[in-house]
Amino acid sequence: MVEIRIHGRGGQGVVTASDLIAYAAFAEGSYAQAFPSFGSERTGAPVVSYCRIRDTKIRTREPVMYPDVVIVQDQTLLPIVDVFGGLTDDGYALINSKKTLEELGLGEFAAQRPRGHVVTVPASDIAREYTGRTVPNAVLLGALAALTELYTLESVSTVIKQRFQGEVGQKNADAARAAYDYVMQKKEEARDAATN
């Protein structure tokens, strides 16, 4: 079972992101569940959502304490929330930021993980370019597909267009594809650096 924890702020589509990840996995024949953990938080307050993917039925319902994947939709959470708490030793971390890992103070953290498992993506900037809004959730779905190969980009595009109809869906699918390409380029650069 792959367990995913998404950290963000109210209004950034954290819950929608976990739902879409589950739908993308389900579209490929996996079992999936997604659920949020928040109370009466207002826009801007820290929010957490969870997702599980497995090829057999999922019976557990508790929060994800030891995630295989952590997605951080807002880099301002890094100094105030233990977003990486419990992340498995070979887990993945995807951070919405145009800064490098070193600039975020995560160079040492990334060095303790397998090469290429901790990645930053300027998801808000990509979202603004393609949709005119800075909501990073759909963008990060594309980035996650490239980083982990949990599901395909085609599944991401399909579920985004089902969730957001017409032009809005197409723009978000295009943004997800741009993030996918961005992360694939980073993976290729990491491979080249490893062989040189």
Domain coverage including residue 140 = 2-195
Average confidence (pLDDT) over 113-126: 94
Quick one: pLDDT at residue 38? Answer: 64
| Dist CA 168 CA 156 (whole Å) | 14
Total number of domains constituting the chain: 1
CATH number assigned to the domain comprising residue 126? 3.40.920.10
Mean pLDDT for the stretch of residues 55-76 = 93
Sign of CA dihedral 94, 95, 101, 106: negative
What is each CA distance from 97 to 104, 108, 135, 136, 180, in whole angstroms?
Answer: 9, 17, 13, 10, 15
Mean per-residue pLDDT, 1-22: 91
Distance of alpha carbon 191 from alpha carbon 180, whole angstroms: 17
Q: What is the pLDDT of residue 39?
A: 59
Q: Which of 118, 114, 121 lies closest to 74 in space, CA to CA?
A: 121
Please give the residue that has the higher pLDDT: either 20 or 11.
20
Give the mean pLDDT of 24-52. 84
174 within 8 A of 182, measured Cβ to Cβ: no
Q: How many CB atoms lie within 10 A of CB 21?
A: 31
Regarding pTM above 0.85, the answer is yes
Residue 126: band (very low, low, confident or very high) from pLDDT cuts 50, 70, 90 = very high
| Out of 25-29, 72-76, 179-183, least confident range | 25-29
Nearest residue to 37 (alpha-carbon basis) of 69, 53, 14: 14
Contact 32, 9 (CB under 8 A): no
Is 92's pLDDT higher than 60? yes
